[in-house]
Structure 1
Amino acid sequence: MDQRRFGQSNGTSRRVKSSPNGRGRGTVEVILELPKFVIVKHGKIGPTFYWNPPVYWRKRAALEGRSYPFESQKLGSNLSQSELQSAANPHNALFEEWRLGKTSTPSRTYAAHGTVEWLFEQYQASTIFKRRVSVRSRPDYARVFNAIANQPTKTGGRFGQLPVASVTPAAAEKIYVRMLEGDTFRRGEKAVMYCKTAWRLMQPHHPREFGKDVPNPWVGVQLVKRAIKSKNAINREEVYTFAWAAVGAGKPEAAAAAIICFEWLQRPENVVYGYISWSDYKPNVSIRIEHHKTGEMLEHPLSDGSLLFYPEAEEILSLVPKRAAPIVMGEGKTEPYKGTRFAQIVRKIADQAGLPKTFTLDACRHGGMTELEEAGLTDGQGRALSAHKSRAYERYAKRTAKRMLAATTARFEHRSNESK
């Protein structure tokens, strides 16, 4: 890392006065070591740092007939040493990749420190985000954040280039309205929900980048009231039609996924990404289901000692080859399926079996939830089987083995009565 004078490049450092908290509460002398290609300009708000690629390489690229895809990038103002280093490192890494001839253009660009798109990047890269958001849902967050960042501003720029602190409730409201265009109500709701959460969770980590008066402008956005469509639900007959069709098509892992989602109500992303393994399954005894979203681990009884509750489901599982630790693992695969690829397999088998276009693993799980309601289970019994959480419920309903057995028995009796 080069040491150079602020605003120059003579290889030295100097003490500069800046407000480390960015709020003008006095100044202190600090020495900052400028990363490679970083310069500084002084203004009323304090030192502002820029990543400034060298002219030498622009000229050399022209002589070699190569494109030079780099421009000066603002990194932020009043940055600490660690913030400055973190802001400059990605740009230097991309430059080095280009300089060594590994790529003709950068594989990606990085947002300026303190901007809206910088906040989106920080949130998606954080441990907090990875704990809260499932792997299957992360691409959706990226799509929504990109759509928000690319909204045009009055000055001809993009919303993502604005400082986080400059976003007002009025601006948040305008973004919400734009995201609603074409009656895409759900996209607008996601925009507000995702941004509200990103602002709330990132503000404690980067307090200087947020507005002092309105730290979270998304809280005040009023959503349009609308009727919520009920989720598609697949019934038991359709689930097993699909399962046997999948076995016949040489995809028994798809059959297993469908019945696990329907019978034991595991979330599809958990099934596909290997959250259920052969060690969780004890034939004719129990099956252990992990719900990554809620952190719940439930052990569903498969019998009461004399009566099997899920004979056909267990017959399906007996036909699934034990290719690896996870139950849902394709032939020749060394790691779990990608969600999109597995969805394509499910769609193809469902079409071949003549099942409705609404058939998905989500719909299988919703079908199982619907059967719980039809069975007349109490709220506590239903939650005991599905791993749904509620503060009001958690105070008095416990997911004990006795409660799980009672709920499963009631569901089995309902199904038996329906078949008579």
Structure 2
Amino acid sequence: MIEKKISIGIAYYWSPPTRARKAGCPVLPEALGTDYGAAKQRCDDVLNPHYRAWLAKGEEPGVPQAMRGTFDWMVATYKVSPKYTKLPAETRSSYDRMLKMVSVLPLKDGRTFGTLTLASITPGAADKLHDRIKVNPKGGERIRTAVLAMKVCQRAWNVARRSEPKAVPSDNPFQKMDIEYKAKTTRLFQYDDLQKFVAAADAAGEHSIGTAAMIAFFWLQREIDIIGRLAWSHYRPSDAPHVARIIHHKTGEVVDLPLYDDDGTALWPDIMQRLDSSDRHGTLIVTRDTADRFKGVRLPWKKRHFLRQVAKIKTTAGIDPEIKFMGLRHGGTTEGADANLSDAQMRALSGHRTTAALLRYAQASTQQRRIGARLRRNARTKGGQTSE
């Protein structure tokens, strides 16, 4: 996606590289309008996946086509499947890294793993592959990466098998590998941490980052959606001015969060007051806090730059550097669990589809255990069954 300055501001366009157009790329240039969030969503969900699918077939000059029946061919087959193209952009990017890591892994005879025929990849070969990947180039362990790589290979094999049953063996060597990884518990941003962070962000002139943190904690939206898609049209939208429309692009869930209680009391006074008093600098709510010196407008944050600034603000605020920005969403969800909300109530707020997904965010806490113990005690003593 590229942007161009026009008389009314910034407009967005999508176009494949010139070399791809000359090679007959079927995905044509397209004008995307002036709404950055809508333009980016069109690119992430439609145009870029179609372009990558075309690239995967090896039709661009300089992109060799993998030999049929090899691991590289299987990967290319997977990438043109809707099972891949319909994944969120960030997930596809992660899967791409894993598959490329496996594909380019050098073998003893000078070949790469990607050139191996599928029939030659045995469960034993998959085990050896896992053992090699879990050791990083510097000699340390990367167990989580190795497990993810094997899971993605397993998925790619199964999807390719459905498309090409004659070329992909039915026995998937990446299944039943008996490998596990216990993810580290995400460190939580507590409400007190949030207040210190926002104060430090404002003092540093990074008002937008403080706003992003509050949205993540209170409205439980993911970072990529906050800095790249959340528009002013989602806050008090014209068709529902008493809600904040939070869209979780990863799952496709749309949550209309009410802004007021039945008696008219504000339900989110901290963030509502901040947004209602904020100046608007374009379609997105969260943009950089200074105008670009060349374009004269406030541009959207890039993820890496945004996270670097977040790290600086945490240091200034005296917040543990191990607490990541994602800890805000986890912290807000856990606050709901501490408040004794039911799973259904928390899912209604967070947009999680299942309780299993919710529980990865709503961490067990001392407060929840205290409430549980209190309820058990009350149930025990209500009938006078103890000496209390």
| TM-score bucket of the superposed structures, by smaller chain | 0.5 to 0.7
Q: Show the counterpart of 1:219.
A: 175
Q: Show the counterpart of 1:136.
A: 90
The alignment partner of 1:188 has SS state of helix
Higher alpha-carbon deviation: 378-387 or 170-179: 170-179
Q: Within 5 A, what are the aligned runs for 1:11-160?
A: 89-90=59-60, 93-94=61-62, 111-124=66-79, 127-132=82-87, 134-160=88-114
1:235 Cα offset (Å): 0.5
Q: Show the counterpart of 2:258.
A: 301
Q: Distance in 2 between matches of 1:335 and 1:201?
A: 39
Q: Show the counterpart of 1:388.
A: 352
Q: Distance in 2 between matches of 1:151 and 1:194?
A: 16
Q: Within 5 A, what are the aligned runs for 1:344-355?
A: 344-355=308-319
Among candidates 248, 252, 261, match of residue 203 of structure 2: 248
Q: TM-score if structure 2 supplies the norm length? A: 0.67
Q: Which amino acid aligns with 1:164?
A: L
Q: Which amino acid aligns with 1:157?
A: R
1:382 Cα offset (Å): 1.4
Contact 2:209 2:286 in 1 (8 A): yes
Among candidates 144, 158, 162, match of residue 200 of structure 1: 158
Q: Which amino acid aligns with 1:146?
A: K
Listed as ranges, the gaps of 5+ residues in structure 1 are: 1-35, 37-84, 95-107, 395-413, 415-420
1:358 Cα offset (Å): 2.4
Q: Distance in 1 between matches of 2:251 and 2:209?
A: 24
Q: Which amino acid aligns with 1:344?
A: R
1:289 Cα offset (Å): 0.6
Q: Distance in 1 between matches of 2:184 and 2:217?
A: 21
The alignment partner of 1:217 has SS state of coil
Q: Show the counterpart of 1:74.
A: none
Contact 1:151 1:158 in 2 (8 A): yes
Q: Show the counterpart of 1:277.
A: 231
Contact 1:148 1:191 in 2 (8 A): yes
1:139 Cα offset (Å): 3.7
Q: Distance in 2 between matches of 1:264 and 1:355?
A: 21
1:86 to 1:158, Cα distance in 2 relative to 1, 3 A: closer
Contact 1:87 1:113 in 2 (8 A): no
Q: Distance in 2 between matches of 1:240 and 1:135?
A: 32
Q: Distance in 2 between matches of 1:393 and 1:116?
A: 32
Listed as ranges, the gaps of 5+ residues in structure 2 are: 1-22, 24-54, 359-370, 372-388
Contact 1:114 1:164 in 2 (8 A): yes
1:233 Cα offset (Å): 0.9
| 1:183 equivalent in alignment to 2:141 | yes
Q: Distance in 1 between matches of 2:348 and 2:267?
A: 17
Contact 1:242 1:350 in 2 (8 A): yes
1:265 Cα offset (Å): 0.6
Q: Could you list the per-position Cα deviations for residues 292-331 of structure 1 after superposition, in whole angstroms to 9, with x for gaps in the alignment? A: 1221100111221422122122222235432222212224
Q: Could you list the per-position Cα deviations for residues 263-306 of structure 1 after superposition, in whole angstroms to 9, with x for gaps in the alignment? A: 011111221221x2111112993211111122110011122142
Contact 2:105 2:113 in 1 (8 A): yes
| Bigger Cα Rg | 1
Contact 1:243 1:255 in 2 (8 A): yes
Q: Which structure is richer in relative contact order (CA contacts within 8 A, separation 6 or more)? A: 2
Q: Which amino acid aligns with 1:302?
A: L
Contact 2:57 2:76 in 1 (8 A): no
Contact 1:233 1:363 in 2 (8 A): yes
The alignment partner of 1:196 has SS state of helix
Aligned residues: 293
Structural RMSD (CA): 3.2
Q: Within 5 A, what are the aligned runs for 1:227-266?
A: 227-266=182-221
1:164 to 1:251, Cα distance in 2 relative to 1, 3 A: farther
1:388 to 1:289, Cα distance in 2 relative to 1, 3 A: same
The alignment partner of 1:255 has SS state of helix
1:298 to 1:250, Cα distance in 2 relative to 1, 3 A: same
Q: Distance in 1 between matches of 2:214 and 2:268?
A: 10
Q: Which amino acid aligns with 2:347?
A: R
Q: Show the counterpart of 1:291.
A: 248
Question: What percent of counterpart residues are identical?
Answer: 30
Q: Distance in 2 between matches of 1:299 and 1:86?
A: 38
Q: Distance in 2 between matches of 1:364 and 1:312?
A: 15
Q: Distance in 2 between matches of 1:367 and 1:258?
A: 11
Q: Distance in 2 between matches of 1:309 and 1:246?
A: 24
Contact 1:233 1:364 in 2 (8 A): yes
Contact 2:71 2:117 in 1 (8 A): yes
Q: Show the counterpart of 2:331.
A: 367
